[in-house]
Structure 1
Amino acid sequence: MAQNKKTPNKLINESSPYLLQHAYNPVDWYPWGEEALQKARQEDKPILVSIGYAACHWCHVMEHQSFENEKIASVMNEHFVCIKVDREERPDVDAVHMEALQAMGVQGGWPLNVFLNSEAKPFYGGTYFTPQQWVKLLLNIAEAYAKDRQKLDQSAEQFVKHLNLSELKRFGIQQSQTEVSEEEFEELYRNLARQFDKKHGGFGAAPKFPMPANLLFLLRYYAHTENAAALKHINLTLHEMAYGGIYDQIGGGFARYSVDEKWLAPHFEKMLYDNGQLISLYAEAYLLTKETLYKDVVHETIAFAERELMSEEGGFYSSLDADSEGVEGKFYVFTRQELQDLFGAEEPILSKYYHVTTTGNFEHGQNILHRRISDAHFAKENELELEVLEEMVKTWKDKLMEVRSQRIRPGLDEKILCSWNAIMLKGLADAYYTFGNKRFLHLAVRNADFILRHFKQGDRLYHNYKEGKASIDGFLEDYALLIRALIRVYEITFDEKYLQEARQLTDYTLANFLDEQEQLFFFTDQSAEKLVARKKELLDNVIPSSNSVMATNLYLLGLYFDEERYQQLADAMLAQVKELVVREPGHMGNWATLYYHKLQPTAEVAIVGHQAPEMRSELSSFYIPNMLLAGTEGQSELPLLQDRSAINGKTTVYVCYNRTCQLPVQTAAEALEQLQNRTGQNPNFPAL
């Protein structure tokens, strides 16, 4: 390729595909690290930190417009030490500079461009800039740095002071009592319900992000209260997303978000973390509703992930780009003429099904395929037998997939991240828990073993893996999300090695991440590189916060291992943030689920005997969200299973709450009756 004749910059030896995309820019890019920081100190130059990720559309735009421009690059090289960061590889660096940007009064996003003084302290920043804006900004900052350095340094000190403020103080959180109450739980729900988009589903206005943690909380809230409005909003949201353009109607899988409130026009990149969580969400919703659409979404999304994101070794790649051939969404969209040429006489019914028009619903006459009603409804409207329509749709999808296979594919980010693989692992485990599909179990076990083999060395985790190499120390998100996934893998396999791995990783985090004073976890290991601030992640975003996941892990493992210290810390963590959970549940969805778990004792279900896997399968076909499962076909030292046996050689179930057990039973129906009597009537239980 012609670009290989150019001299590469310092990014050429990096593993991140995003950084490698910039390796032949005329900008003298450095990766984040001591070499670049030392150069800035020695030359007393300001630092430009430019942060993005491989699937980011506007990151690519700014690269093409500015970073590939020789004249602009010369300005950057003359006045700055330029550092490129992949936010997915270095979430710690991204978090510090994103918070700095927000402290400057700028709305965050990517590309994220922050200017630091030679001591790596931020003083100014922004997101996307046009070439003209960018050059003007570069020259203005260079001049200010030369002529008004003291003022910039003073500003930087103020931002660093802000960054080092405790998250609890920054959010104005007062520690609450550990007790939870039904009244407070209802207030929490009411505060979340104010954000419902009752017409299109989801939360708030455009752009629309799926926010799986909030929807999973609503499922648990409904299980506890049977509030019909909550279930209505869950179903509305899940239907609208599954029918919309945010869902790939042909190949399965979800895009990162929708730019409009109707879920029609996605930002076309597909991220592993979204799809893993949405598999979990739709699988759990199916358990409650038995809605066929939700089952189809799970199966199609797993098929997408296996087909397009899975490595030969059993790990999952990070993302697919929004662009192909430099055009956003080009891989996924069709003109009506293309469909007429492909399907002939069948095109009108296909176009009606997918809402295709001659003028298009996207750019340049293109159509984003989407639906608005169920197959049963569409078949009835168009006087078709449902089975006939379903066969037609299958044929359409197969043909359109074949057409897409001939197109130039979106770029694939081939780095494999521990935390994101853990999210997909839990999704696969949840899908097997719900549907009992052996393929899902195979994929889950293969991925779990891949993660433990390649990301875990001794007691510690690494964050990234590519081409046989892991190089970045694990962050709290890696430990927390993997522990949570391993607990779920134990529940579907009853293989105690996964539970023991979860416990060992938990003990490592307690020793190396915990702030004993605040009873919350730092995002970075105590041995990690020291940045200008050591942050804690409290707010649940599209991905749940590592502290909320860790608190949930401690709660569950405290039950499995009868560990009082785990339970006490989980309670203390929830107490620290409980005020904010109730006040702002839209930003605390996963914390809200932990609140739900504390309202009533969690059912501890121990299954002992040769038919333990079959009994687990029977019990897990019902929606019992506040339950953990333990099982063995023989003997076990696990506290939940210790001194329990299969009575008269027949598989036996022990249903317990707060270390107090019901009478042992030997059928799923009897166990369900004990669970039902304790948790109250649930529409998904059988009549007993």
Structure 2
Amino acid sequence: MNRLKDATSPYLLQHADNPVEWFPWGDEAFAEARRRDVPLLISVGYSACHWCHVMAHESFEDEGTAALMNERFVNVKVDREERPDVDAVYMSATQAMNGHGGWPMTVFATPEGHPFYTGTYFPRQQFQRLLTGVSNAWTGDRAAVLEQGSKIVEALNERSALPSGPLPTPDTLARAVRSLAGSFDAERGGFGGAPKFPPSMALEFLLRHAAAQAAGAARDDAARDDAAGEGSGEEAGATGEAAAAMAVHTLEAMARGGIYDQLAGGFARYSVDADWVVPHFEKMLYDNALLLRVYAHWWRVTGSVLGRRIALETADWLLAEMRTPEGGFASALDADSEGEEGKFYVWSPEELREVLGEEDGDWAIGLFEVTGTFEHGTSVLQLRQDPDDPERFARVRSALLAARAGRVRPGRDDKVVAAWNGLAVAALAEAGALFDRPDLVEAARRAATLVDELHLDGDRLLRTSRDGRAGANAGVLEDYADLAEGLLALYGVTGEVRWFRRAGTLLDAILERFSDGAGGFYDTAEDGERLFQRPQDPTDNATPSGQFAAAGALLSYAALTGSARHREAAEAALGTVTVLADRHARFAGWGLAAAQAAVSGPIEVAVVGPAGDPATAALHRTALLSPLPGLVVALGEGDPGGGDSGGGDSGEVPLLQGRGPVGGEPAAYVCRGFTCRMPVTTPAALLAELAAGA
């Protein structure tokens, strides 16, 4: 029976025609397992997962294997991207039982959902033996199986939450830099060995820390020690230099390696080697949104030409390849095409000569380091140095893109995930403002509008949609937090108060429905579906942890509103960072970035003046170009009287209240904790005030 045909998940739809009688996750599957008195077989994966495809072809499309599954189990297919909560609880069990996890994840569970045997990918013959063995154990030694499931659930639920501590201090952040330095690959960039994942959240922290130290160094020693709040003397300067060096080396190495698509832009999920050469070829929205923002911030901190190029190419790739007809952004591009991983992206020397001709082909072979070391004599393209002939490079690149367009493209998972679209909204809005690209801001606005109008019902957020139809799965903490982060960034760029207002609604929902009562947050709402464990993971993974994302958004909102409630909640949630900073800083990057903003203030800038006035725009752009950690910008027409004087936004954005133009001229107010310095009316004066207030 085809129970997946109406799914909004492309991953589930990939399995809709399997001979396996799949159930989607839900009450029907559990009821059927109880009725038949058989275990659940829960298979968790996602559409861009290479080994998920392999197991599907080997086992789930095989009539004999499917018959065994159907006879002895109730089979449940789960898209981990739609149900991260289900994935999280069973991944905890898988890691506890096996010492490692991964996808596809294979879980055998009681009809109550309690796992008793878990694994990942199994080749067909091994999988068939496993199916028989588990079924025999269920029928022949039921008591032992049930006891195993109960013990696992009990052990997982007894795990204490990660301890918390006080709000991170400047010394905490300096220790985190030293912790990151301890695992830094000074030769190749990045942290640790192979495989290497883009450390987006840690890079954001390092750039913020470097910017904070640079701001302190720009003042005289006495003023820095008294006012900067960032440490002092040579030690503070040293951590700033170390942070900048690690960030720059990693950003450059990734941009020049095979993990980056040198023709069309966009980053692959990770590199299987330590040199960033051989990618695992799927491209994920969340990676590229995070990296777009980090590369734009690299340019903002240092003026890097490479950072600007990579940011803009990644933004253009998002618009060209990932935008959906409804205005949102799709989840992922597959690793495979024509049944082969990476086939769309790799080239042989002969192919380059065929497309480009002998002379340009040989030049491209050397430039892109195409040595034929992959399967079938192919290579991924690298660009370890800038071409000596930019016009020739542009011609070659255009020809190769045109030739590649004729290949079979990887599949696209076109579901819209609220959290990842929130990350894209933040990145595109900021990049559009920094690089004077109104089309990027408009793309951010369209994505925000889609999620706002389709995924939200009051303060209830649905995680996914597809083809303009919302899915049924409730949003989790990262959806609320990342979307709030994106909407606050979009408000800061556009001054459109609807985004500020909606962010406040989302953050209030977090405080009311996700709190653990001890300063942290659960990953699911208190009134959501009850699993055997309520997931709570404060550490970063491929995306910022929900807790750290919530802390960052709460901090920004507090800076715009003066709300002690939101500020205190942010600081409490950041207590975990203090515990992680010394030994596990790699898994707390987003929390460290938020903590750096908290330690630095963050600085608040109110820009007031008529919309469309060039003087207002100049002040606004100056504020947005500041690299000060976590700086927030409020934009409106101003409210010199302290109430809503008809300017529109000032009555709803407290940072604008009581602040108006000066002498009829647009003005900017630099504040910290709602205590403001004297307003200024020129970009040069605003730069001076930002330097003095940092």
Specify if TM > 0.5: yes
Counterpart-to-counterpart distance in 2, 1:224 and 1:621: 14
Tell whether the 8 Å contact from 2:461 to 2:474 is kept in structure 1 after alignment. Answer: yes
SS at match of 1:124: strand
Cα offset for 1:55? 0.4
SS at match of 1:38: helix
Counterpart-to-counterpart distance in 2, 1:149 and 1:210: 45
Counterpart-to-counterpart distance in 1, 2:593 and 2:320: 32
The CA deviation string for residues 267-292 of structure 1, in whole angstroms up to 9 with x for no partner, is 11111111111100000001112111
The residue aligned with 2:631 is 627
SS at match of 2:574: helix
Which residue of 273, 284, 290 corresponds with 1:260?
A: 273
1:316 maps to a residue whose letter is F
Distance 1:657 1:78, change over 3 A: same
The residue aligned with 2:175 is 187
Counterpart-to-counterpart distance in 2, 1:184 and 1:212: 20
2:305 maps to a residue whose letter is T
Counterpart-to-counterpart distance in 2, 1:437 and 1:259: 34
The CA deviation string for residues 389-436 of structure 1, in whole angstroms up to 9 with x for no partner, is 111111112111111111111111121111111111111012123212
Tell whether the 8 Å contact from 1:51 to 1:84 is kept in structure 2 after alignment. Answer: yes
Cα offset for 1:514? 1.8
Cα offset for 1:163? 2.8
- The gaps in structure 1 that reach 5 residues or longer are 1-7, 380-388, 680-688
Cα offset for 1:577? 4.7
The residue aligned with 1:670 is 685
Cα offset for 1:100? 0.7
1:645 maps to a residue whose letter is G
The residue aligned with 2:661 is 646
The CA deviation string for residues 157-210 of structure 1, in whole angstroms up to 9 with x for no partner, is 121123323552xx4x2x3233x4333222121111111111111111111100
Tell whether the 8 Å contact from 1:106 to 1:126 is kept in structure 2 after alignment. Answer: no
The residue aligned with 2:330 is 317
The CA deviation string for residues 353-372 of structure 1, in whole angstroms up to 9 with x for no partner, is 10112xx0211101111121
**1:112-511 mapped onto 2 (5 Å cutoff):** 112-165=105-158, 167-168=160-161, 171=162, 173=163, 175-178=164-167, 180-225=168-213, 226=237, 227-344=240-357, 345-357=359-371, 360-375=372-387, 379=388, 389-470=389-470, 471-511=472-512
SS at match of 1:13: coil
Tell whether the 8 Å contact from 2:669 to 2:677 is kept in structure 1 after alignment. Answer: yes
Cα offset for 1:576? 4.5
The residue aligned with 1:607 is 607
Cα offset for 1:678? 3.2
Counterpart-to-counterpart distance in 2, 1:337 and 1:572: 59
Matched, 1:17 2:26: no
The residue aligned with 1:74 is 67
Deviates more, 1:261-270 or 1:100-109: 100-109
The residue aligned with 1:683 is none
- The gaps in structure 2 that reach 5 residues or longer are 214-236, 640-649
1:192 maps to a residue whose letter is L
Matched, 1:519 2:533: no
Counterpart-to-counterpart distance in 2, 1:673 and 1:478: 38
SS at match of 1:277: helix
Counterpart-to-counterpart distance in 1, 2:421 and 2:413: 14
Deviates more, 1:45-54 or 1:188-197: 188-197
2:38 maps to a residue whose letter is K
Give the alignment's Cα RMSD to 1 decimal.
1.5
Counterpart-to-counterpart distance in 2, 1:599 and 1:622: 17
Cα offset for 1:52? 0.5
Distance 1:576 1:208, change over 3 A: closer
Counterpart-to-counterpart distance in 1, 2:506 and 2:137: 48
Which residue of 669, 673, 676 corresponds with 1:661?
A: 676
Distance 1:577 1:592, change over 3 A: closer
The CA deviation string for residues 500-558 of structure 1, in whole angstroms up to 9 with x for no partner, is 11001111222222222x22222122232211111123111120001111111111111
SS at match of 1:199: coil
Counterpart-to-counterpart distance in 2, 1:575 and 1:622: 27
Tell whether the 8 Å contact from 2:98 to 2:119 is kept in structure 1 after alignment. Answer: no
Cα offset for 1:298? 1.4
Tell whether the 8 Å contact from 2:326 to 2:468 is kept in structure 1 after alignment. Answer: no
Tell whether the 8 Å contact from 1:581 to 1:591 is kept in structure 2 after alignment. Answer: no
1:446 maps to a residue whose letter is R
Tell whether the 8 Å contact from 1:273 to 1:423 is kept in structure 2 after alignment. Answer: yes
1:612 maps to a residue whose letter is T
The residue aligned with 2:594 is 594
Q: TM-score, normalised by structure 2?
A: 0.92
2:433 maps to a residue whose letter is Y
The CA deviation string for residues 374-402 of structure 1, in whole angstroms up to 9 with x for no partner, is 33xxx2xxxxxxxxx11111111211111
The residue aligned with 1:684 is none
2:621 maps to a residue whose letter is S
Which residue of 78, 88, 96 corresponds with 1:103?
A: 96
2:385 maps to a residue whose letter is I
Tell whether the 8 Å contact from 2:638 to 2:659 is kept in structure 1 after alignment. Answer: no
Deviates more, 1:182-191 or 1:498-507: 182-191
2:558 maps to a residue whose letter is G
Counterpart-to-counterpart distance in 1, 2:159 and 2:617: 46
Matched, 1:54 2:50: no
Tell whether the 8 Å contact from 2:45 to 2:52 is kept in structure 1 after alignment. Answer: yes
Counterpart-to-counterpart distance in 2, 1:165 and 1:283: 43
1:642 maps to a residue whose letter is Q
SS at match of 2:23: strand
Counterpart-to-counterpart distance in 1, 2:262 and 2:104: 29
Counterpart-to-counterpart distance in 1, 2:160 and 2:605: 37
Counterpart-to-counterpart distance in 1, 2:513 and 2:173: 33
1:301 maps to a residue whose letter is T
Matched, 1:26 2:14: no
Distance 1:250 1:258, change over 3 A: same
Q: TM-score, normalised by structure 1?
A: 0.92
The CA deviation string for residues 49-85 of structure 1, in whole angstroms up to 9 with x for no partner, is 0000000000000110111111111111111111110
**1:565-604 mapped onto 2 (5 Å cutoff):** 565-604=565-604
Deviates more, 1:204-213 or 1:521-530: 521-530
Counterpart-to-counterpart distance in 1, 2:481 and 2:35: 39
Distance 1:103 1:283, change over 3 A: same
The CA deviation string for residues 5-61 of structure 1, in whole angstroms up to 9 with x for no partner, is xxx532222221111111111111111111111111111111110000000000000
Cα offset for 1:499? 0.6
Q: How many residues align?
A: 652
The residue aligned with 1:3 is none
Counterpart-to-counterpart distance in 2, 1:14 and 1:181: 47
Cα offset for 1:318? 0.9
Cα offset for 1:94? 0.5
Cα offset for 1:138? 1.1
Counterpart-to-counterpart distance in 2, 1:557 and 1:597: 12
The residue aligned with 1:555 is 555
2:459 maps to a residue whose letter is D
Tell whether the 8 Å contact from 1:436 to 1:617 is kept in structure 2 after alignment. Answer: no
SS at match of 2:122: coil
Distance 1:495 1:431, change over 3 A: same
Counterpart-to-counterpart distance in 2, 1:132 and 1:167: 39
Which stretches of structure 1, 4 residues or longer, exceed 3 Å deviation after superposition?
A: none
SS at match of 1:51: strand
